[in-house]
Structure 1
Amino acid sequence: MRRFLLTLILSLSLTTSYCQDTITYLTDAIKENISPYKRASNSAYEKRNVEEGKKLFDSLVKNKLIGTKFDDFSLKVYKEKNVKINRISKPIFIITYASWCVIPKGEIPALNILAKEHRDDVQFIVVFWDKKNDLKKIAYKFSDNIKVCYANEYYSKDSHIVATIKHTLGFPTSIFIDENKKVVNIKHFEDKTKIKTPIKEAIISSYNYFSKDINENLMKSLSSKKSFTTN
């Protein structure tokens, strides 16, 4: 048993060393690891073991997806020109939704406040898994500091991002990418705001949740940048 553990540790060490010298894209990392994750995850949820399902997702992110390079997706922006990920020079905070899902009370106002506060150091992007017409009733709620994008199987050029992000990571999901387009974190977030929660309280709750997440990821990005510069 001890020999097995030593072999496993050595193997992981070599894998880590190898990854540092090569570029692994998020798409490829997902393709290589999604099948065993889905089998284990489906089994957990079939047994109604929600916590185990969450742990499996977090393990997939931590061990296989963080540190990969985010693909240079081209995103269709509502009422703006398309934008390519690689043309954005600062860290990016992406949140994925669907128009038919009810966005928690206070979440959009909180994101608008944060996007304004971080307009110089983070680009906020909201991606709806919908067609353009589906966004008419919701896109206007987001501030100009947030790029409201959409992607759908209906559009042939969207098949890659839909398959990579929507059908594997699910939604609502947040993805934080550093300025070098490396994945810093991927997270499922849940609505813990009760229906009867006053709007001001709901905004504060959402603001605190996302602010903590964004600032922690910015610190990780800065730490990673300093480490890279030192090396």
Structure 2
Amino acid sequence: MQRKLLILLFLFNLYSVYSQDTIVYFTDAIKENITPYKRASNKAYESNDIKEGKKLFDSLVKTKLIGTKFDDFSIKVYKEKNVKINRINKPIFIITYASWCVIPKGEIPALNILAKEHRNDLQFIVVFWDKKSDLKNIANKFNDVIKVCYANEYYAKDSHIIATIKHTLGFPTSIFIDENKNVVNVKHFENKIKLKTPIKEAIISSYNYFSKDINENLVNAVTKNRSFTTN
């Protein structure tokens, strides 16, 4: 009897270690949880309950997506060769747009300033859900520190990233990944700057909005990595 208990205890400990070491990828977490989320979210928005819709998204992020391993996507860069996520050896801040959506006044200049300030500790990636030809009027507005990328249903190899991010999370969305490629945060962002806002004021407002978010995510990434190392 005692021997059986020891064997069971050993198997339990082995299972616990295995469970802790099991890697959950971002794509898999999305696949497993997106259907019930969409069902509840659609119901909330159909009832015009915007607050509940945002609450559901935040819950999905907090309980299912944060801490997952971001997939090693290969993304096409407008001015360079394709970039693979795992080859970037620092935290990554991804923002998704579409060229046909109007980007709020001041947002691009603010991101350009922040990208230069964080050029040594953070890689900025802007992904447009478009074809390369759609970006010729907007790509050059971003500085060279930011990798301006594109993905579209038109390109067969983009089906994975399109299905995982665009068709599930929507846009504009930001994704913050630490240097170990763990997801730190996913956020729907909404810049509420009015069209008539003076450009300097718009840049400052956008800068403060993104700077606060970036700095909080950097701190969270360091804290979680230290906690993981200690344990």
Q: Same fold (TM over 0.5)?
A: yes
- Secondary structure (helix, strand or coil) at the match of 1:109 reads helix
- Number of equivalenced pairs: 216
User: Residue 176 of structure 1 aligns with which residue?
Assistant: 176
Residue 108 (1) aligns with residue 108 (2): yes
> Which residue in 2 is equivalent to 1:186?
186
The answer for the alignment partner of 1:71 in structure 2 is 71
- Matched AA of 1:136: K
| One-letter identity of the residue aligned with 1:83 | V
TM-score normalised per structure 2: 0.92
> What TM-score, normalized to structure 1?
0.92
Alpha-carbon offset, residue 191 of structure 1: 2.2
Partners of 2:166 and 2:200 lie apart in 1 by 31
Cα RMSD of the aligned pairs, angstroms, is 1.2
Partner of 2:94: 94
Q: Is the 8 A contact 2:191 2:206 kept in 1?
A: no
Structure 2 stretches of 5 or more lacking a match? 1-15
Displacement, 1:21?
2.4
Identity percentage of aligned residues: 83
Q: Unaligned 5+ residue runs, structure 1?
A: 1-15
Instruction: State the 1:17 CA deviation.
Output: 8.8
Relative to structure 1, is the Cα distance of residues 49 and 119 closer, same or farther in structure 2, using a 3 angstrom cutoff?
same
Counterpart mapping for 1:118-133 below 5 A: 118-133=118-133
CA shift for structure 1 position 224: 1.1
Partner of 2:43: 43
**2:59 aligned residue:** 59
Counterpart-to-counterpart distance in 2, 1:170 and 1:207: 23
Q: Does 1:165 align with 2:165?
A: yes
Partners in 2 of 1:32 and 1:17 — Cα distance? 23
Separation in 2 of the partners of 1:216 and 1:183?
14
Cα distance in 2, alignment partners of residues 138 and 221 from structure 1: 31
C-alpha distance in structure 2 between counterparts of 1:147 and 1:94, whole Å: 10
User: 1: distance between equivalents of 2:81 and 2:38?
Assistant: 36
